[in-house]
């Protein structure tokens, strides 16, 4: 796993040999440790160079190892031996130095990078932090602001930027290893102390608190609810305010908290799911590794509407020459100007020249006779598309691949009108096509494996995350979307408001709730589709019950909204009202409230209070249920494919892993039970009927080894009103987004709503301050979900008292973490969130002034003496936010993909910034009992740690 050679008679060359990315798996760590020992003890060796085989330095820790217990030597001591040695060690970085790989380089005394190398700490995108000293060493090397940015975003930087920042000592266009060998020889004899990053003092800005606060606000805003970036900020603060060894301890404690969180599992699952999705397989047995793609040098795009223009840009910017076709001169000219503008802006952003010479615009299909591939992106109308395909079949040379960008029509029906059905496939882009990463490659029953291989490989070339799906109405993404949208409107009928539903979904993690998203996408598009399919409008039989279509429940409210000319943001009115057309600031509209009330009274619907739990369950479980149907129908090969589609095409929150992963986290048994419950209540909604495969999954989940003592306790307590399962969005901090740190019995009893059912967790009876309360004598069978469980618990449980002395030895104060009102303590070996004691201050205090001198590591030893009160006064941390992942920078495409190609819209990248990020749920937490100003009770939430 690492090769050891003596070169130039006096340099030990250690080459990591663990393809494909030289990850630091257990044997590699072993090999590095042994090689270093050998080099340091060999008198012939005067210097050491570490490099990676196959032009890749190191891709970091082996993420696959995270799922099991740690084997082999821990990484940090291995790396510490490198720095502590008395011989200069040079890292020769080719390809990439990422995560633990970058940290390995930071333990070396010198770093040489090849000019094409990329460096970064992407741990945050995996729900963890750089825990091999990255958070302590990088700030010491390059200062707080730059380190903070790199660590909280996970951004990869170029070798040139690394040189500018002072991370590497030299950049070379030659072989980095050769250069490093020369460099190492010159370094022999020079003092090593100044080269040991751990001995450096972190250059600390005077406005440290303000800087960290701004960083916190930024990550909170970008994607609220994710823990890792905030933990990163905490760790960087430690680098600025603590001596190195203490900072390292803090780093490892923060890592321990994150490591087993549900978020980390979800994000790591996403990493592998994305890579798995590329490994497509067809029912015929053809798959990614036995089918050869054709090379595509030239392509044509038919239709220059929103989709067509985005597709032209996506092709041209990767060097494929494109012929763009329109039916009318005016449309062609308009499309030409927009495409050129988009390409120029894109090129400017990337610092390259726009590839305008690759473009040709024409009104004639005859010009397409020699292209390798055509993508049709005309209006979503089967008759029109068939005409286009018939024509293409006549004009294109026999080998040309014919693809359609339909968002749900029958690809095989189109194949059937051509002379080459085996060369026809769907390439379903998402709007805007040059921004959104997802591509559904639709395999018709007659599509050849070569056609699919070519479409998948072209998608990859365009930088898309391509997923092969089957040919069914709506394919995978849109097919699942329908029941999701239906549930949202059914909930409106039953008593919810658009704001309430959106808030529940945004609190869950979606950038925008379903109604805000629909307003952005435009309501008229779906309305037209419904009219065309006879669901609404004059074609509906007047004898048809108004709220039923073909015996199934139908909600006409979206049609009624459109009938009033409310088409969303573009008309300034939709589910919300806006100050003017095109405005993005959605405000609740009393007219919609009136409409809903009138509608309900017209149909005799008694509105009821609908909990956030019901909103989430009905909208998301139905999504997973349809996902199971899709798997059963063979329209997707695996759950990962479905999740990837939702992550990249529909902005499903990445830290939730995708609808299928989320369902597995909740526990399939629970999902099943809730679906059954809702289906009984709404038998005319077939999508609520649990699919057989979900049953099978649930049985599997039950048989898993997750049953433990906590489960037994949970089961024995089932039915007791004081042991209710979690109330909906109050999801436990241990496993999920950390927005709810209320005390939930579910968390203690393993009845965790947001993770595996019966996840092994602490038996509350064993926690010193949370004895299991006796069953209350006044138990009733009624459940008032509006009262938080904490509140219930505190009411019925007088024995739930604060510990006698917060500083008693059994409590060791570990860190402030995440939440304003909480600190983290280790209790009986478990990490616990403990509510801070209230601050007794006479008058509102002014923020503490930071003396820059006090921030140097040398002076930080005083932190040992920090009092509880000082801890309380510490910086206020909101809960954290997600990594800014370049992978899913697109917006939620809900509904957007219905935009037909002839619409004329702004082509600029859509952004959710500014108007879409919901505030933190924590900020809005209404659980007054947990506000320190109102409670003196210490509340403990167990948080499992196995690291």
Ligand X SMILES: CCC[C@H](O)CC(=O)SCCNC(=O)CCNC(=O)[C@H](O)C(C)(C)COP(=O)([O-])OP(=O)([O-])OC[C@H]1O[C@@H](n2cnc3c(N)ncnc32)[C@H](O)[C@@H]1OP(=O)([O-])[O-]
Residues identified as active-site:
103, 123
Rounded to the nearest 5°, which phi and psi values hold at 404?
-120, 145
Determine how many CB atoms are found less than 10 A away from the CB of residue 712.
14
Residue from 94, 123, 486, 816 touching ligand X (CB under 6 A): that is: 123
| Stretch of 95-103, 303-311, 672-680, 855-863 contacting ligand X, by CB under 6 A | 95-103
Instruction: Closer to ligand X by CB, 256 or 395: give it.
Output: 256
Residue from 52, 122, 568, 773 touching ligand X (CB under 6 A): that is: 122
- Minimum CB separation of residue 62 from ligand X in Å reads 4
| Binding-residue pattern over the window 18 to 37 for ligand X, x denoting contact by CB under 6 A | --xx-x--------------
Tell me if residue 492 falls in helix, strand or coil. helix
By CB under 6 A, the residues from 127 to 146 that bind ligand X are 130-132, 134
What does R_g of the chain's alpha carbons equal in angstroms?
A: 30
- Minimum CB separation of residue 379 from ligand X in Å reads 37
Which residues are 323's β-sheet partners? 300, 360
- Minimum CB separation of residue 496 from ligand X in Å reads 40
- Minimum CB separation of residue 29 from ligand X in Å reads 10
- Taking the chain, what is the end-to-end CA distance rounded to the nearest angstrom? 25
- Minimum CB separation of residue 121 from ligand X in Å reads 7
Name, in order, each residue with C-beta under 8 angstroms of 544's C-beta and a sequence gap of 6 or more: none
Tell me if residue 4 falls in helix, strand or coil. strand
Supply the angle between the helices 477-494 and 622-632 in degrees, to the nearest 10: 150
By CB under 6 A, the residues from 35 to 64 that bind ligand X are 59-64
Q: Are 140 and 201 in contact (CB under 8 A)?
A: yes
| Stretch of 34-42, 96-104, 290-298, 557-565 contacting ligand X, by CB under 6 A | 96-104
What is the arrangement of strands in the sheet containing 811-816, beginning at the earlier edge strand?
Answer: 811-816, 822-827, 830-835, 940-943
> Measured between alpha carbons, how far is 698 from 3 in angstroms, rounded to an integer?
47
Instruction: Closer to ligand X by CB, 192 or 228: give it.
Output: 228
| Stretch of 43-51, 118-126, 470-478, 678-686 contacting ligand X, by CB under 6 A | 118-126
The reply to whether 474 sits near ligand X by the rule CB under 6 A is no
> Which is nearest to 785 in space by CA: 618, 606, 614?
614
- Minimum CB separation of residue 131 from ligand X in Å reads 4
Residue from 88, 100, 649, 896 touching ligand X (CB under 6 A): that is: 100
By CB under 6 A, the residues from 517 to 546 that bind ligand X are none
> Which is nearest to 614 in space by CA: 784, 782, 728, 721?
728
| Binding-residue pattern over the window 244 to 283 for ligand X, x denoting contact by CB under 6 A | ----------------------------x--x--------
Name, in order, each residue with C-beta under 8 angstroms of 800's C-beta and a sequence gap of 6 or more: 769, 770, 771, 773, 793, 794, 937
| Binding-residue pattern over the window 762 to 801 for ligand X, x denoting contact by CB under 6 A | ----------------------------------------
- Minimum CB separation of residue 123 from ligand X in Å reads 5
Instruction: Closer to ligand X by CB, 290 or 716: give it.
Output: 290
Instruction: Closer to ligand X by CB, 138 or 242: give it.
Output: 138
> Measured between alpha carbons, how far is 731 from 658 in angstroms, rounded to an integer?
17
Q: What angle do CA 25, 31, 34 make, to 5 degrees?
A: 140
β-bridge pairing 465-470 and 830-835: unpaired
How many helices (H) and strands (E) the chain has is answered by 33, 23
> Which is nearest to 496 in space by CA: 629, 376, 619, 634?
619
Instruction: Closer to ligand X by CB, 11 or 131: give it.
Output: 131
Residue from 16, 126, 504, 764 touching ligand X (CB under 6 A): that is: 126
> Measured between alpha carbons, how far is 613 from 759 in angstroms, rounded to an integer?
20
Q: Are 52 and 16 in contact (CB under 8 A)?
A: yes
> Which is nearest to 206 in space by CA: 150, 145, 140, 250?
145
The reply to whether 99 sits near ligand X by the rule CB under 6 A is yes
Six-digit token string for 884: 């800014």
Instruction: Closer to ligand X by CB, 96 or 315: give it.
Output: 96
By CB under 6 A, the residues from 888 to 917 that bind ligand X are none
Which residues are 76's β-sheet partners? none
- Minimum CB separation of residue 783 from ligand X in Å reads 43
β-bridge pairing 465-470 and 438-443: parallel
Instruction: Closer to ligand X by CB, 23 or 796: give it.
Output: 23
- Minimum CB separation of residue 98 from ligand X in Å reads 4
Count of positions on this chain that bind ligand X (CB under 6 A): 24
Residue from 98, 157, 427, 827 touching ligand X (CB under 6 A): that is: 98
Instruction: Closer to ligand X by CB, 59 or 426: give it.
Output: 59
Instruction: Closer to ligand X by CB, 122 or 918: give it.
Output: 122
Six-digit token string for 534: 């006879």
- Minimum CB separation of residue 238 from ligand X in Å reads 16
Name, in order, each residue with C-beta under 8 angstroms of 629's C-beta and a sequence gap of 6 or more: 691, 693
Tell me if residue 261 falls in helix, strand or coil. coil
Six-digit token string for 544: 């048809």
| Binding-residue pattern over the window 665 to 704 for ligand X, x denoting contact by CB under 6 A | ----------------------------------------
| Stretch of 121-129, 283-291, 330-338, 629-637 contacting ligand X, by CB under 6 A | 121-129
| Stretch of 94-102, 197-205, 735-743, 820-828 contacting ligand X, by CB under 6 A | 94-102
Name, in order, each residue with C-beta under 8 angstroms of 236's C-beta and a sequence gap of 6 or more: 135, 139, 144, 147, 148, 151, 212
Residue nearest to ligand X (CB): 99
The reply to whether 432 sits near ligand X by the rule CB under 6 A is no
- Minimum CB separation of residue 856 from ligand X in Å reads 26
C-alpha pair distances (Å), 568 with each of 517, 520, 558, 681: 9, 6, 11, 32
Quick one: the chain helix, strand, coil %, rounded to 5?
45, 10, 40
Tell me if residue 934 falls in helix, strand or coil. coil
Instruction: Closer to ligand X by CB, 107 or 567: give it.
Output: 107
| Stretch of 15-23, 141-149, 181-189, 481-489 contacting ligand X, by CB under 6 A | 15-23
Determine how many CB atoms are found less than 10 A away from the CB of residue 337.
11
The reply to whether 212 sits near ligand X by the rule CB under 6 A is no
Instruction: Closer to ligand X by CB, 120 or 837: give it.
Output: 120
Instruction: Closer to ligand X by CB, 21 or 168: give it.
Output: 21
- Minimum CB separation of residue 20 from ligand X in Å reads 5
Instruction: Closer to ligand X by CB, 154 or 857: give it.
Output: 154
Rounded to the nearest 5°, which phi and psi values hold at 716?
-70, -25
> Measured between alpha carbons, how far is 50 from 127 in angstroms, rounded to an integer?
28
By CB under 6 A, the residues from 384 to 423 that bind ligand X are none
| Stretch of 93-101, 220-228, 426-434, 879-887 contacting ligand X, by CB under 6 A | 93-101
Q: How many residues does the chain have?
A: 947
Name, in order, each residue with C-beta under 8 angstroms of 649's C-beta and a sequence gap of 6 or more: 430, 436, 438, 440, 477, 893, 897
The reply to whether 103 sits near ligand X by the rule CB under 6 A is yes
- Minimum CB separation of residue 58 from ligand X in Å reads 9
Q: Are 423 and 451 in contact (CB under 8 A)?
A: yes
Report which secondary-structure segment, H or E, holds 822: strand 822-827
By CB under 6 A, the residues from 62 to 91 that bind ligand X are 62-64, 75
Binding site for ligand X (CB under 6 A): 20-21, 23, 59-64, 75, 96, 98-100, 103, 122-123, 126, 130-132, 134, 272, 275
């Amino acid at each position: 796993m690492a090769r050891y050679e003596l070169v130039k008679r006096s340099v030990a060359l250690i080459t990591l040999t663990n393809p494909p990315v030289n990850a630091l798996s257990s044997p590699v760590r072993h090999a590095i440790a042994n090689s270093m020992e050998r080099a340091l003890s060999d008198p012939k060796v005067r210097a050491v160079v570490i490099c990676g085989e196959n032009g890749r330095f190191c891709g970091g820790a082996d993420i696959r190892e995270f799922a099991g217990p740690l084997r082999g030597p821990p990484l940090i001591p291995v790396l510490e031996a490198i720095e502590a040695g008395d011989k200069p060690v040079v890292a020769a970085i080719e390809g990439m130095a990422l995560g633990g790989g970058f940290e390995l380089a930071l333990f070396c005394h010198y770093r040489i990078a090849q000019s094409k190398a990329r460096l970064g700490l992407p741990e945050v995108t995996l729900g963890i932090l750089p825990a091999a000293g990255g958070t302590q060493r990088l700030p010491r090397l390059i200062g707080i602001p730059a380190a903070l940015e790199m660590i909280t975003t996970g951004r990869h930087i170029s070798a040139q930027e690394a040189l500018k920042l002072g991370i590497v000592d030299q950049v070379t266009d030659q072989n980095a290893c050769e250069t490093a060998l020369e460099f190492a020889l010159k370094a022999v004899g020079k003092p090593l102390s100044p080269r040991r990053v751990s001995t450096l003092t972190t250059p600390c800005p005077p406005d440290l608190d303000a800087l960290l606060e701004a960083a916190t606000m930024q990550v909170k805003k970008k994607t609220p609810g994710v823990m890792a970036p905030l933990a990163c900020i905490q760790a960087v603060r430690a680098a600025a305010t603590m001596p190195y060894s203490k900072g390292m301890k803090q780093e490892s404690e923060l890592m321990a908290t994150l490591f087993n969180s549900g978020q980390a599992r979800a994000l790591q699952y996403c990493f592998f799911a994305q890579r798995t999705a590329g490994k497509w397989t067809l029912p015929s047995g053809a798959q990614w590794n036995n089918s050869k793609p054709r090379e595509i040098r030239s392509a044509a795009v038919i239709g220059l509407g929103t989709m067509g223009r985005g597709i032209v840009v996506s092709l041209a910017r990767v060097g494929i020459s494109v012929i763009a076709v329109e039916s009318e001169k005016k449309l062609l000219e308009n499309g030409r100007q927009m495409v050129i503008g988009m390409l120029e802006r894109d090129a400017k952003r990337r610092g390259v020249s726009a590839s305008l010479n690759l473009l040709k615009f024409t009104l004639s299909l005859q010009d397409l006779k020699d292209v390798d591939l055509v993508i049709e992106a005309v209006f979503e109308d089967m008759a029109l598309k068939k005409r286009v395909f018939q024509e293409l079949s006549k004009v294109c040379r026999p080998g040309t691949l014919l693809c359609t960008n339909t968002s749900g029509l029958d690809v095989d029906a189109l194949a059937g009108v051509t002379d080459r059905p085996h060369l026809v496939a769907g390439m379903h882009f998402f709007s805007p096509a040059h921004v959104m990463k997802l591509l559904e490659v639709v395999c018709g029953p007659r599509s050849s494996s070569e056609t699919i291989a070519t479409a998948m490989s072209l998608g990859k070339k365009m930088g898309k995350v391509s997923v092969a799906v089957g040919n069914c109405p709506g394919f995978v993404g849109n097919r699942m979307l329908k029941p999701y949208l239906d549930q949202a409107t059914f909930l409106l009928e039953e008593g919810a408001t658009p704001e309430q539903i959106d808030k529940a979904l945004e609190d869950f993690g979606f950038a925008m709730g379903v109604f805000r998203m629909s307003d952005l996408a435009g309501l008229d598009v779906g309305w037209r589709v419904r009219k065309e399919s006879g669901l609404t409008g004059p074609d509906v039989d007047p004898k048809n019950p108004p709220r039923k279509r073909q015996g199934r429940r139908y909600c006409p409210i979206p049609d009624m909204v459109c009938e009033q000319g409310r088409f969303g943001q573009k008309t300034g009115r939709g589910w919300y009202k806006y100050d003017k057309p095109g405005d993005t600031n959605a405000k609740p509209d009393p007219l919609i409230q009136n409409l809903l009330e009138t509608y309900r009274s017209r149909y005799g619907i008694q509105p009821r209070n609908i909990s956030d739990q019901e909103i989430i369950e009905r909208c998301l479980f139905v999504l997973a249920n349809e996902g199971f149907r899709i798997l059963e129908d063979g329209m997707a090969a695996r759950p990962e494919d479905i999740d990837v589609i939702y992550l990249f095409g529909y902005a499903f929150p990445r830290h939730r892993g995708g609808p299928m992963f989320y369902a597995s986290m909740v526990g399939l048994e629970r999902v099943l039970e809730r679906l059954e419950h809702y289906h009984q209540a709404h038998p005319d909604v077939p999508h609520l009927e649990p699919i057989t495969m979900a049953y099978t999954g649930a049985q599997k989940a039950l048989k898993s080894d997750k049953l433990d003592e906590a489960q037994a306790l949970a089961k024995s307590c089932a039915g007791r009103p004081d042991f209710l399962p979690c109330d909906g969005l109050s999801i436990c901090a241990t496993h999920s987004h950390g927005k709810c740190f209320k005390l939930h019995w579910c968390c203690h009893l393993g009845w965790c709503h947001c993770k595996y059912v019966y996840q092994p967790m602490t038996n509350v009876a064993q926690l010193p301050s949370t004895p299991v309360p006796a069953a209350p004598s006044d138990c009733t069978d009624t459940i008032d979900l509006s009262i938080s469980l904490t509140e219930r618990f505190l009411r019925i449980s007088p024995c739930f008292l604060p510990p006698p002395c917060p500083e008693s030895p059994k409590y060791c104060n570990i860190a402030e973490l995440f939440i304003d009102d909480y600190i983290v303590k280790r209790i009986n070996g478990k990490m616990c969130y403990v509510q801070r004691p209230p601050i007794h201050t006479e008058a509102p205090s002014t923020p503490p002034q930071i003396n820059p001198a006090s921030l140097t590591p040398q002076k930080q030893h005083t932190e040992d003496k920090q009092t509880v009160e000082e801890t309380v006064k510490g910086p206020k941390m909101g809960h954290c936010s997600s990594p800014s992942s370049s992978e899913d920078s697109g917006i939620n495409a809900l509904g957007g993909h219905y935009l037909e190609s002839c619409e004329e819209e702004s082509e600029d990248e859509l952004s959710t910034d500014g108007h879409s990020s919901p505030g933190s749920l924590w900020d809005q937490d209404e659980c007054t009992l947990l506000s320190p100003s109102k409670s003196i009770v210490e509340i403990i939430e167990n948080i499992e740690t196995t690291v």
